[in-house]
Amino acid sequence: MLRKYAALLFSAAFVISAYGCGKKGSSNITGNITKEFSDSSSAEKSFSFDTDSIVSSLDISEDIGNITISYSDSDKAGISLNCRSFADDKEDCQEILEHISTEADVNGGKLVVSFVDSDSGEDLSQWLSENMPDSRIELDALLNVPTSITDFTAKVNVGNISLKGLKGAFNAYADVGNITCSDLEISGSSALGCNTGNVELNKNIYTSDISVNIYTGSTTFMLPEKGSGNAEIQLSSKTGRIHIITDEKDHSVTDEKKEDNSHALSISAQNCSIEALVETGKITIDQEEQ
């Protein structure tokens, strides 16, 4: 058992390292994240992208804002943006909004969505740092993709990621923010991670392995839905809590270990094995401390 939980801790450290996360603050943020600006403006923008049946994976990343991904009812991908700009001059705010655009590149079956300057096509973060460094952009992106996409990668520096009603493999990371996964069919090896934030997994089917690693924060995990099986689910937090919700599903606690401030728990449910570990914190089942 000690070896098993040591491996889980190593997995958490590896994911944090792989995503470039640690206790240090993020770089490559779109503008000044700490300053309180005197003016702001907002705008709604929509874009559609031509895709075809060979597109099977998606990659999207953002600096500040939220990302929501769900399936569309067509073979095209589309994105709706709620854009917010912050500066000390109203005209600067409006000018920034005019420069916000998106670009979609399809290469080798992968759809890569990026945020760019509408005039030059330059990376939006780079354009802002070169032209209006004393300002900030926040983008809330709602992305609809065709059902041919079954491999998802989403990253945000400051903000939240929401994955809804999708099927496939998922890699999502929020440096400071939350990740919510609802009504997914996790059929490929997946990993979720936060430096500071929370993860929620609700009403998902698991037929492949997944790891959830948080440095500081909590995980709320609903036991697998009917149709799950043969999946290893690893939940770990450096500092925080793990809340297990049974939703009245049959399950059994097969192992448990408490040592100093750490808490580890093994659960079997729906032919899946769940390993939960908090290095400093507690684990609860239906809000009851174990």
pLDDT tens digits for 176-226?
999 999 999 999 999 999 999 999 999 999 999 999 999 999 999 999 999
Structure confidence by residue, pLDDT tens digits, 76-122: 889 999 999 999 999 999 999 999 999 999 888 999 999 999 999 99
270 C-beta neighbours (distance < 10 Å), count: 18
Domain boundaries, the chain: 1-26+161-290, 31-149
pLDDT value, residue 30: 61
Going by C-beta distance under 8 Å and a sequence separation of 6 or more, which residues neighbour residue 6? none
- Quote the pTM value: 0.89
pLDDT at 49 over 70: yes
CA distance 182 to 163: 6
How many angstroms separate the CA atoms of 70 and 52, rounded? 17
For CA atoms 148, 150, 155, 160, give the dihedral sign. positive
Residues 266 and 227 sit within 8 Å (Cβ to Cβ): no
**Measured distance CA(229)–CA(272) in Å, rounded:** 5
Q: Is 91 left (phi over 0), alpha (psi -120 to 50) or beta?
A: alpha
Measured CA to CA, the distance from residue 153 to residue 149 in angstroms comes to 11
**pLDDT in the model for residue 107:** 86
Between CA 269 and CA 258 the distance in angstroms is: 22
Burial class (CB in 10 A: 0-12, 13-18, 19+), 133: exposed
pLDDT at 27: 34
If one compares 28 and 233, the residue with the highest pLDDT of the two is 233
In this prediction, what percent of the chain has a pLDDT beyond 90? 80
